[in-house]
């Protein structure tokens, strides 16, 4: 996990965070984490894999596709 420092946060904002955290029964730090999580990773965000699966089901699925796997030797990066 990463740490984040927020500098120059106005007193009024910090006070509002403390009040909001108290209403939710958690620490100010936990409240900030929750706000960030809800903001940058909302529950209704598009999940590309799920959406592709839904589209495939609409057209009858993709179980009958014959997609050959490419098997190749694993090689390290050439850094020269």
In the chain, domain spans? 11-58
CA atoms of 15 and 18, how far apart (whole Å) = 5
Please indicate whether residue 15 or residue 72 has the higher confidence score (pLDDT): 15
Q: What is the pLDDT of residue 12?
A: 96
Classify 66 as helix, strand or coil.
Answer: coil
φ, ψ for residue 55, nearest 5 deg: -65, -45
> pTM score > 0.85 for this model?
no
The string of pLDDT tens digits covering residues 16-56 is 999 999 999 999 999 999 999 988 887 777 788 888 888 88
The architecture in CATH of the region 11-58 reads Orthogonal Bundle (1.10)
pLDDT value for 25: 97
Q: What is the pLDDT of residue 44?
A: 77
Residue, of 31 and 73, whose pLDDT is higher: 31
Distance separating alpha carbons of residues 26 and 17, to the nearest angstrom: 11
């Amino acid at each position: 996990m990463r740490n984040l420092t927020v500098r120059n946060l106005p007193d009024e904002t910090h006070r509002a965070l403390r009040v909001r955290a108290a209403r939710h029964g958690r620490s100010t730090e936990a409240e900030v984490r929750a706000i960030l999580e809800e903001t940058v990773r909302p529950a209704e965000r598009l999940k590309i894999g799920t959406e592709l699966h839904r589209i495939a089901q609409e057209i009858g699925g993709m179980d009958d596709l014959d997609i050959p796997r490419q098997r190749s030797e694993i090689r390290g990066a050439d850094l020269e």
